[in-house]
Chains A and B, each alone.
Chain A
Amino acid sequence: MTARSFAALAALLVATVSSVALAESSAAAPAVANSSAPLEARSPRITQKPNLDTRETAYVLERGDSAVGVSFLGVTPQELYASVAFEHGLGKGVQLGVNLAHMGTGIINVSGKWRFLDRRELSLALSFAPAYGHGDWIWIAPAQALMAGVNLWIFPVEVAASSFVLDWLELDLAVGYTDIEAFGNLDSDALVLDAQLAQRQFFLRPRVVAHLFERSSVILGATVPLFTSIPASGDVTVTLPNGVVAGGTAGGRRTLPLGDTYLLSLGMRSMINEHFFVEIQANMGPRVDKIVGTFVAPRIAFEGRF
């Protein structure tokens, strides 16, 4: 075999391998091929799967993706006042997380989410985010007042459905039950009761997300509790001045009407680039008033995904 023939065969072999590889590379390697491009040149959209909001939706982090989220002035038990959450996608639709800020403020919070249906037209996920709150560990002043002398066990479970009914319009609906058990010495008018942090609540949480822009979305949401109960005054214990603990044996609970428990929110979420996201949300409702002191209060959040 002459050198010329050998070279021709080698070239044919390389060309063939390249052509075969092309079929795979066109699918698997685009990100690799483009990895050296500047972030701005990749032009990702907020509606692409790795960029979707995983909070209050059925979407989860992709396998190997991690997210660090910081939020201020949250009004849910999982995001009370502030949160620094770390989440990681394990694949198969499973995502685990831990709330680090709550650990520093007396609430230990872990979370798990499993997206068990991932279709183009519908995604469904089950999530569970148990937490334990110890009032004596809390050092943030407003939260101290809220949870003075109280230990909370928080068991929220929910099923969320998310669907893109149009390319730019996402509908989410969550059905959930939250059981928060409070233990400790409570006054009958304790703020933790007023703020419904010792509740058993069955709720619906519809959301409409309009992806109006390539990198920004407008979010309109509501929490509609169908049933909420909190401990009645006879259900709590009171520490008398002489140190005697009284009460706590009646075992009653009282049901709160929807007018005392609803939560409305209007927000906006944007991608800064493919790694960073920012969100601001105005929360409105009676609970916001009890926790923050005003009927309307914003929650601002920043998220990094890697």
Chain B
Amino acid sequence: MRATTLSLPPTLLLLFAVTLTSRVANADEHAPAAPARHVGTATTPATPTAAAHPPSDATPVSPSRPWAPPHAGRRFSLVATATYAAALGDVWGLKLEPYQFGVGMRAAYTLPIGVWFGLYGEVFQGSTVQQTYHPPFTLIRQDVNAESRAAVFGASVGYDQQVGPVVLRYLAGLGATILAWDFGAIPYDTFAGFSPMNGSLVGMHFDMGAGVVLPLGPLELGLEAFYRMETSGQIPGGAGGRLVLGGRL
């Protein structure tokens, strides 16, 4: 039995090619306007108009192009940080300022989608707060120079998004805070929950923040704002700003 060879007229082949090319091109053209999540299911929006947001209906959608990874794809970063933070709240009515100016380092690895993971550490000089302490529910008044300082270290996660020449940054961190205090020679065994009158303790903190980074080739210069929650009632939380300067590989 002889096999039948299907030889098509050139016009039909051309029609085929045009049709398939049109199909592919058409699909590609509309793809950005309809980024449906349920691809290939019954829940896929029926039309680009239904899938796209109203403003996108009225304006041409930008041609499909990859999202640029932040920092030109340089994934490893090592930055120095200079921070100023103020303590929020007090400890049983005792005002402490364990943060103030601080310096530190952060190393991070950035994924192509902009999510990064890092390790950080900062040491704060703290300051002394002169005050007359009035323990709650007592008649006691005690003048005290409450000196305190803190060091923090932990792991952070963030997200960097390139927007034009700068990078928007989200960040969160979880770590430990070491608080050291010295209240001088006051005649108490326990004072505002602290005992003895000079010592240190460790608590956990949770940081949240946002910032803007200016990439300068392999260098980066950034400004971040952050808010710190402390889980220990003996360590005040804080909020402040951080200058970031470092390099990327």
- A interface vs B, CB < 8 Å? 3-4, 7-8, 11-12, 14-15, 18-19, 21-22, 25-35, 37-45, 47-52, 62-65, 72-73, 91, 119-121, 164, 166-168, 212-216, 268, 270, 272-275, 278, 280, 293-294, 296-298, 300, 305-306
Contacts and interface: CB of A to CB of B under 8 A. Distances in A.
Contacts of B172: 300
Interface in B45-94: 45-48, 50-59, 61-67, 88-89
Nearest to A168: B55
B227 A25 contact: no
Contacts of B32: 42-44
B41 A64 contact: yes
Contacts of A32: 27, 39-40, 44
A47 B55 CA distance: 8
- A interface majority secondary structure: mixed
B218 interface: no
Interface residues of B, number: 76
Nearest to A292: B229
B24 A215 contact: no
A233 to B, nearest CB: 20
Interface in B166-203: 168, 170, 172
Given A12-B15, A26-B30, 10 more contacts: A12-B12, A27-B48, A30-B33, A31-B39, A35-B39, A40-B66, A43-B64, A43-B65, A164-B55, A212-B163
A44 B88 CA distance: 40
A305 B35 CA distance: 12
Contacts of B156: none
Contacts of B243: none
B239 interface: yes
B35 A274 contact: yes
Contacts of A91: 43
Nearest to A9: B12
Contacts of B35: 31, 42, 44, 48, 50-51, 274
